[in-house]
């Protein structure tokens, strides 16, 4: 399953995932955003893995924000943008 969200004034957040037993699995975040340090990407993937598929976007954003050190720099992407991409992947909504 695939979801994309273009953050207003930012870059594209893309989520590829599967749902197994109402849980998110094989979650992969990608996009043309900027993230430092770069290993924060895999921290976000790992934190989203196994989360309930029914989680609300604000709750997903909370998971993303808590997954990375406070000093992580995000440019063109935000926890909310990732959450929107997850939401769209889960619900099969088109980027709009």
Partner 1 sequence: MTRTSWRDHDWQLIHTDAQMPVQHMALDAVLTDEVGAGRRKPTLRIWEWAAPAVVIGRFQSLRNEVDAEAAQRHGIEVVRRISGGGAMFIEPGNTITYSIYAPLSLIDGLPFSEAYAYMDEWVLAALGELGIEAWYQPLNDITSAGGKIAGAAQVRRSGAVLHHVTMAYDIDAAKMVDVLRIGREKLSDKGTKSAAKRVDPLRSQTGLPRASVIEAMISTFRRLHGLHDDALRPQEVADAESLGLAKFSTPAWTADVP
Widest CA span of the chain, in angstroms?
36
Q: Are strands 23-31 and 12-20 parallel, antiparallel or unpaired?
A: antiparallel
Joined together, the tokens standing for residue 17 give: 């995932």
73 binds partner 1 (CB under 8 A): yes
* Min CB(54)–partner 1 separation in Å: 25
d(CA 22, CA 9): 33
31 binds partner 1 (CB under 8 A): yes
Nearer residue to partner 1 within complex by CB, 30 or 51: 30
Which residues form the interface with partner 1 (CB under 8 A)?
Answer: 9-11, 14, 16, 28-36, 38, 41, 73, 75-76
């Amino acid at each position: 399953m695939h979801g994309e969200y273009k953050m207003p004034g930012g870059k594209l957040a893309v989520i590829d995932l599967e749902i197994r037993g109402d849980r998110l699995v094989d979650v992969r975040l990608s996009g043309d955003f900027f993230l430092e340090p770069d290993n924060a990407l895999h921290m976000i993937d790992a934190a989203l893995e196994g989360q309930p598929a029914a989680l609300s976007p604000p709750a997903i954003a909370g998971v993303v924000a808590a997954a990375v050190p406070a000093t992580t720099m995000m440019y063109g992407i935000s926890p909310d943008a990732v959450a929107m991409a997850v939401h769209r992947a889960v619900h099969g909504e088109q980027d709009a």
